[in-house]
Amino acid sequence: MRKFLASPLLVKFLWMVTFILLYIVGSKLSLPFLDLDKKLVLTQLAPSLEFSAALTGGNLRSMSFLSVGLSPYMSALLLWQMFSFSKKLGLKALAAEVAGRRQMYLTLVVALIQALVVALSLPVQKGPNRLLLLLLHTSLLVAGTFFLIWLSDLNSALGLGGSLTILMTSILAYLPQDLLQSMQDLGLGWAWILGLLLLALLYLYLALLMEHGKYRIPVNKLMIHNRFKKYSYLDIKPNPAGGMPVMYAMTLVSIPQYLLFLALIFFPQSSFLRGANLALSMGQPAWLLLYLLTIFLLGLGFAFVNVSGEEIAKQMQESGDYIEGVYPGRATSRYINGITLRLAVFGSCYLLLLTGLPMLLLLKDPAFLRISMIPGIFLIFLGMVLSLQEEIGAIRLNENYRRFF
C-alpha cells in the first residue's frame, strides 16, 4: 500500500485532478458588475467565437475571468513559429529565456485585443462608470489567460498532460451538452444518432490507422553491429501534423472576427466592415473557404515543425548515421524534407476530407455547426488522449527500474 501511495504516477494524477478542479472553479466565477440575465453580445453576433473559445479552454457563456482561455497563448505560439521561419528576424538564434519572454509579450498583445472585444460586449449593470468597468473587465480577462498559462506550466511540471489537460476538460465540459441540444433543436431522430455513431467508429479506425501508421526510412548506424538487423529506421507518420491544425485553424480564423467586431464598435456605420463581418460569419462560403485553407496550410506547417529535415540531418551527421545512397548533410536534409512534404500534402488532404466534407452542412443550415464539427473535435481529442497515453507510458516505464542498492 505504501508503495502504491508513493508511486510518481499517482502523485502526478492527484496534482492533475487538483489543477482540473481549480480550472473548473475558475471557469464558474463570473466577472463582477454584470447582468447575468442577459447574454454576451459577442456570441449573439458571432456564435462561432463561443465554440472556438471552448476548444481553447475558454467559456464565453459563463462570462468568467477565464472566458478568453488559452486562445491568445496558442495564437502567439503559432505566430512565433511562423516568424521563426524568417532568417532575417533571427528568432531561432535567441536564447530560450529571451524567446520565452518575447512570446509572452506577443501573447499579451493578442490577449489584450481579445479581452477588450469581450469586455466591450459584456452586459454590464447600470450605475458604475463604464470606462472603469471596461478597464476592470479587460484586466481580469487578460489575467485569466495568464493564470491558465501558469496553471498549464504547473501541470506540466507536477501533473499530467500540461495544457492538453485544460483543453480536454474544456471540451468535455462544454461540447457534449451542446451536441445533444443541437440534435434536439434540429429534430434529429435515432437514425441520425445511429449514423453518427457508425461514422464515429469509422473515423476512429481511420484516425488510429493514421496515428500508428509509419513511413520507414532505412538508416545505417555505424555504431551498431547486429547480424540480425541490417538497418534501423527513421519513422514518419502519414499525417505528420496530427490533429492540431484543426484546433489552431479555429483559433486563427477567430482573430479576424475579433478585429472586425472591435472595428465595428468604433465605426458602426461602415458598410464595408458590416459586409466583411457577415462574410466571415460561420457557415458563409468565405468563412468555410478560409477555414479549410487554414487547415491545409497549418497541416503543411506543423508537419515541418514536427519533422525537421535540417535537425534530423544534423543529428545523423554528428552520430555518423546515414541513409543509403544519400550524402550526409544538406542532401540528407533535402531528402527527408521531400518525403515530409509529400506526406504533409497527403495528411492535409486527409484532414480536409475528414473535417471539410461535414462542414458543407453549414451551407445548408448554420444550425448544423456543432454537428459538422464532430469529426474535427474527434481528431483533436484523440490526439490529446494519445499524447497523454504516451506520457503515462513513459512514467510507468521509469517505475519498472529498480535500484540494486
pLDDT given at position 5? 58
Q: For the structural domain made of 1-187, what CATH number should be given?
A: 1.10.3370.10
Q: Are 53 and 178 in contact (CB under 8 A)?
A: no
The number of C-alpha atoms within 13 Å of 370 and in the hemisphere containing its C-beta is 19
Show pLDDT as tens, one digit a residue, over the chain (405 residues). 555 556 778 888 999 999 999 999 988 888 888 887 777 766 655 666 777 777 788 877 778 888 888 989 988 888 888 777 766 767 777 788 888 888 999 999 999 988 998 888 888 888 778 889 999 999 999 999 999 999 999 999 999 888 888 888 888 887 777 777 777 777 777 777 787 778 778 877 888 888 888 888 888 876 665 555 556 788 888 888 887 888 788 888 888 888 888 888 788 888 888 888 777 777 678 888 888 899 999 999 889 888 888 888 888 888 888 888 888 888 989 999 999 999 999 999 998 888 877 877 777 777 777 777 777 777 888 878 888 888 888 787 776 666 655
CA distance 48 to 283: 9
C-alpha cell at 333: 536534409
User: Collapsing DSSP states into helix, strand and coil, what is residue 89?
Assistant: coil
- For residue 244, what are the CA distances in angstroms to 56, 93, 168, 296? 11, 26, 13, 11
Close Cβ partners of 383 (under 8 Å, ≥ 6 residues apart): 211, 242, 243, 244
- Domain layout of the chain by residue ranges: 1-187, 188-405
Give first-to-last CA distance, the chain, whole Å. 22
Q: State which amino acid sits at residue 128.
A: P
Q: What is the pLDDT of residue 107?
A: 93
Per residue, the 3-state secondary structure of 92-141, as one string, reads HHCCHHHHHHHHHHHHHHHHHHHHHHHHHCCCECCCCCHHHHHHHHHHHH
Query: Helix 374-399 and helix 190-212: axis angle, to 10°?
Result: 50
192 and 200 Cβ atoms separated by less than 8 Å: no
pLDDT at 21 (0 to 100): 93
Nearest to 71 by CA among 149, 161, 155, 165: 149
Q: Which residues contact 89 (CB under 8 A, 6 or more apart)?
A: 83
Residues 6+ away with beta carbon under 8 Å from 104: 76
DSSP for 388-404? HHHHHHHHHHHHT----
Closest CA relative to residue 378, chosen from 154, 151, 142, 206: 206
**pLDDT at residue 93, as a whole number:** 74
* Residue 282: count of CB within 10 angstroms of its CB: 23
pLDDT score for 223: 62
The four Cα atoms 250, 17, 172, 161 give a dihedral, to 10 degrees, of 40
- Per CATH, 1-187 and 188-405 having the same topology is answered yes
101/91 Cα distance (integer angstroms): 12
Which of 307, 285, 295 minimizes the C-alpha distance to 349? Answer: 295
State the CATH architecture for 188-405: Orthogonal Bundle (1.10)
pLDDT of residue 185: 72
